[in-house]
Chain A
Amino acid sequence: MSSLEPATAASSEARLGAQFLGAQFLGVRFLGNARIYWRLLMRGAALLIVTLGIYRFWLTTDVRRFLWANTEVAGESLEYTGTPLELLLGFLIAIAILIPVYAGFFVAALDLGTLGQLSGVLAFAALGLIGQYAIYRARRYRLTRTIYRGVRFHQSGSAWRYAFCAVFWWTLTALTCGLAYPFQIASLERYKMRNTFYGDLGGSFAGSGFALFVRGFPMWLMVFAPLALTVGAFIDVVDWKALADAVEHGGGDVMSRIEGSNPGLAAVIVFAMLMAGLAASAAALLYPAFQALILRWWSSGLRFGELEMRSSLRTRHVYSAYMRFLWYAILFSIVMVVIGGSALLAVGLLAGDDKTGTGGEVVATGILLVGYVVAALGFSTIYRATVMLSLWQLGMESLQLSGLSALDRVKATGGPSSPLGEGLADALNVGGY
């Protein structure tokens, strides 16, 4: 008892008593300590730099172990059983597959025929497809490495089918400027949850794409209406034929010709920039609300047999998570600028007048490079420790479960899957938690 702080000892005693009495904490709790998570991420970031990124498999495993183990559902916490070596193996297999693919694209690009010219587009499409395949397989890996009350989750279904569906939906969403997105995620989630099992308990998804569309449409309007106005203004005000003529005749005074052909052009351009700024600000301000909307809608749609989940996530909590991120990011930027600036100044002073000295130049470049890497890793770490942790915690703790009795009668089935999906996702940079 002496090795633990009194609070933990008392609560564990209380739980001991509660469990013997058969009472359970219903609902979901997150037990993790944010400070421990910060330390985990910062140590991980430092080791990532030293090992040029090879440590990422260990860091990912640590993060997942922390998040899973501190998420308690109905009195029992989840367990993550993945290992870093599995992730490393998955990555190696993925490279073995991707090398011939990349080599094929390289050779195709050399052939200057139609295939060569299309190769860029084909490469993009193929990698997009493989990326979606990887996401589905990686989800299977994570599910089969999640154990709750001694029973494993698993996932069936065809990853290629998911990949083709996902690419189809993404194309549709791109063509409709995002309007198809609610229907996209509803359709894909339905497929994923239909194929998700806790033991022999099958999952399903009850969220409606149309409901999300209706709730999200005002946000979409606030971002896209200014852009639509801009396009309208351009079509209306600008005389395209005169503009094309002015550009074609070219020469030294192209700018004045263009202005001459379209007197309203300058005003329209200013209007366009204003509207673009408005759209960008709306997007930035609404992003946390958008995240909250999707998370709430998605959590409320999850079903496992009779077990139903509802989310009572409050949007303002998501906003405070993002505010925390901004606050830490600004602090961090100030520190980086001060340290980086003084380091460069010191190098400049020490190098003195010897402007051609290689020593000073090399050190300066080295400082800039190290500064860039530290900045990138720093912002990423701050984002993970503030926004991503908060979203996980908020998402979990706002879950209300009903029909928990379904969890007591589950039989174990299924075994662990291969880590190939994780490896591909890592190699193609489509990772997640």
Chain B
Amino acid sequence: MTSGAGVFFDGVTSARHDAVVTLAASGLQIAGPDGALLAEWPYDAIEGLAAPDAVLRLGRRGNRVLERLEILDPTFAAAIDARASYVDRTGLRQRRQRTSVIGWSVAATLSLLAVGYFGVPAIAERLAPLVPAGIERKLGDAVDMQVRGTLDTRHLGAAFECGTAASEKPGRAALDKLVHRLEAAAALPSPLRTFVVRREEANAIALPGGQIYVFRGLIAKADNGDEVAGVIAHEIGHVAHRDGTKSVLEGGGLSLLFGMLLGDFVGGGAVVIAAKTVLQSSYSREVEAAADRYGAELMNKAGGNARALAVMLGKIGGATEPGMKILLDHPETKARVAAINKIAAARPGSPLLDAADWAALKKICAG
């Protein structure tokens, strides 16, 4: 077929022109019913546009004037399709483009995951030391408020902290002595603030800005001052490594990566949260191992018994419930104990707290 009927729109007004379309050698010739030439389109300048299934809608590539030609006869449409390379009636070019899009998207997803796993902690590592001390302290105060709010379930307020009542003051003094020895050996750029709080768990946490919370359950489980000192040394490790700030930066980075870049994706929220949780857990395993190493070395420097940290971990570690190993923030206790004992000095010095101070510390939350 070399000619057929079509409807032509010249892109200047909305008037409809019934046209006779001819497949000439150089291109499509579009003529009005009276024979006047309306337009001539070279074959490689023609593209197919979105239209209902029964219509072939053609336009000129890259043309600012929106000329449109519509062909209704399927045989004629097929003939034009054969001559014009950019008309894609069978959808083959679109399918190929689609496949490459999918391929690149999958690649992009994989690289997002890689950046999430490797890149974000590396960037947080670089950025954390650049955070000024003032901002870190403000961050620490903000986290402090939230942490106190979460931990202080009985709303004791100021009384949540041990060591304030008259009978508890000797315990507070003993704690200060202990922390002072460790701080002197650590030589940190900013001062620490340590608190013992009325929580029954055997645990301790460190916040950005140098605040350390020791739970009274830990002191209850310990048998001597070196065991408590070991845990505090581990927490000082977190402060020295600025792990709190890094964790905030990592959380922000992952939120950005998975939250923003994924955008408006129904059901994507769950994937985002899952990805963040798994990735953040994997970061913290290495972080805890590094804090273990720092704690053991600090105990050596302060003249204490680094093995006491390992002993304490053994006591606490046995109490964790078996379960989601991937989500366990702390690596296997046995592995940690072995690592600490390797670093521990061969002959530790005298205990960091004498008997009287230890007895006082044990009673820090008694009042």
Chain A interface (Cβ < 8 Å from any Cβ of B):
1, 3-4, 8-9, 11-12, 15-16, 19-20, 22, 31-33, 47-48, 50-56, 58, 65, 68-70, 72, 76-77, 79-81, 84, 91, 95, 98-99, 106, 109-112, 147-152, 198-199, 355-356, 358, 361-362, 365, 369, 372-377, 380, 407-412, 415, 426-427, 429, 431
B335 beta carbon closer than 8 Å to chain A: no
Binds A, one of B68-76, B189-197, B291-299: B68-76
- B10, B142, B264 interface centre (most CB from chain A within 10 Å): B264
CB neighbours of B12 from chain A (8 A): 150, 411-412
Min CB–CB distance A193 → chain B (angstroms): 19
Pick from B11, B53, B266, B326: contact of A150, CB under 8 Å:
B11
What is the number of residues of chain B that contact chain A, defined by CB distance less than 8 Å? 62
| 7 contacting pairs across A/B (C-beta < 8 A) | A52-B265, A77-B52, A99-B256, A112-B141, A369-B271, A373-B270, A426-B264
Partner of B326 from the list A69, A80, A95, A358 (CB cut-off 8 Å) is A358
Q: Is the CB of A52 within 8 A of B262?
A: yes
Known contacts A20-B5, A52-B105, A429-B263; can you find 19 more A-B pairs with CB under 8 A? Answer: A1-B75, A8-B53, A12-B74, A19-B72, A48-B266, A52-B112, A52-B268, A53-B263, A53-B265, A53-B268, A54-B108, A84-B101, A99-B260, A112-B142, A150-B67, A361-B323, A373-B270, A408-B16, A411-B12
Closest CB pairs A-B (n = 6): A376-B267, A53-B265, A150-B9, A51-B105, A356-B322, A410-B14
Question: A377 contacts B139, CB within 8 Å?
Answer: no
Residues from chain A with Cβ under 8 Å of B187 in the complex: none
Chain B neighbourhood of A112, CB < 8 A: 138, 141-142, 145
A358 with B325, Cβ < 8 A, contacts A106-B252, A409-B15 known? yes
Q: How far is the CA of A431 from the CA of B7 in the complex (A)?
A: 35
Contact status B322-A372, CB under 8 Å = no
B66 within 8 A of A: yes
| B14 touching A408, Cβ below 8 Å | yes
Tell me the chain B residues, 71-116 only, with Cβ under 8 Å from chain A. Answer: 72-75, 78, 98, 101-102, 105-106, 108-109, 112
- A362, B256: Cβ atoms closer than 8 Å: no
Is A150 touching B10 in the complex (CB atoms < 8 A)? yes
A33: chain B residues at CB < 8 Å are 53
Question: Shortest Cβ distance from B364 into chain A, in angstroms?
Answer: 29
Residue of A nearest to B108 (CB): A54
B261 within 8 A of A: yes
* CB–CB B267/A377 < 8 A: yes
CA gap between A170 and B109 in the complex, in Å: 38
What total of A-B pairs shows CB separation below 8 Å? 185
- B102 in complex: contacting residue of A3, A51, A412, A431, CB < 8 Å: A51
Using A54-B109, A410-B14, A411-B13 as known contacts, say yes or no to A65 and B50 having CB atoms under 8 A apart: yes
Given contacts A50-B102, A52-B271, A70-B52, contact A79 B57 (CB under 8 A): yes
- Judged by a CB distance under 8 angstroms, whether B51 is at the interface is yes
- CB-defined contacts of B36 to chain A, threshold 8 Å: none
**Residues of chain B within 8 A of A50, CB atoms compared:** 102, 105-106
Footprint of A on B, CB under 8 Å?
5, 7, 9-16, 18, 49-55, 57, 64-68, 72-75, 78, 98, 101-102, 105-106, 108-109, 112, 135, 138-139, 141-142, 145, 252, 256, 260-268, 270-271, 274, 322-326
**Which residues from chain A contact B256 at a C-beta distance below 8 Å?**
99
Measured in the bound complex, the distance between the Cα atoms of B13 and A88 in whole Å is 32
> Using Cβ atoms and an 8 Å threshold, which residues of chain B touch A4?
74
Partner of B267, one of A22, A373, A412: A373
Residues of B within 8 A of A99 (CB): 256, 260
In the assembled complex, the CB of B176 is this many whole angstroms from the nearest CB of chain A, namely 27
For B260, the chain A residues whose CB sits under 8 A away are 95, 98-99, 427
Bound-state Cα–Cα, A20 to B273, Å: 61
Query: Contact partner of A31 among B5, B10, B52, CB < 8 A?
Result: B52
CA–CA, A32 and B54, complex, Å: 11
State whether A355 touches B14 (Cβ < 8 A).
no
- In angstroms, Cα B323 to Cα A403, docked, is 72
B149 to chain A, nearest CB (A): 14
Query: How far does the alpha carbon of A110 sit from the alpha carbon of B143 in the complex, in Å?
Result: 9
B14 A149 Cβ-Cβ under 8 A: yes
Residues of chain B within 8 A of A152, CB atoms compared: 66
Q: Do the beta carbons of B73 and A409 come within 8 Å of each other?
A: no
Inter-subunit contact B139/A110 (CB<8 Å): yes
Asked if B262 and A20 make an inter-chain contact with CB atoms under 8 angstroms apart, the answer reads no
Chain A residues with CB under 8 Å of B324's CB are: 358, 361, 365
Docked Cα-Cα span, A369 to B276, in Å, equals: 13
Chain B residues with Cβ below 8 Å from A410 are: 13-14
Q: From B260, which residue of chain A is reached at the shortest CB distance?
A: A95
A81 lies within 8 A of B16 (CB): no
Assess whether A150 is in contact with B14, with CB atoms less than 8 Å apart: yes
> What is the chain B residue whose CB lies nearest that of A14?
B72
User: Which residues of the partner chain B approach A109 to less than 8 Å between Cβ atoms?
Assistant: 142
Give the CA-CA distance A148 to B14 in the complex, in Å. Answer: 8
Residues of B with C-beta under 8 A to A429: 263-264
Complex interface: chain B residues within 8 A of A52 (CB): 105, 109, 112, 262, 265, 268, 271
Q: Which A residues are CB-close (under 8 A) to B73?
A: 12, 16
Across the interface, which residues of B come within 8 angstroms of A375, CB to CB? Answer: 267
Which residues of chain A come closer than 8 Å to B98, judged between CB atoms?
Answer: 58
The answer to whether A9 and B112 have CB atoms under 8 Å apart is: no
Give the complex CA separation of A430 and B260 in angstroms.
14
Docked pose: A51 CA to B112 CA in angstroms: 11
Let me know if B7 and A91 touch, CB within 8 A. Answer: no
Whether A111 contacts B138 by the Cβ 8 Å rule is: yes
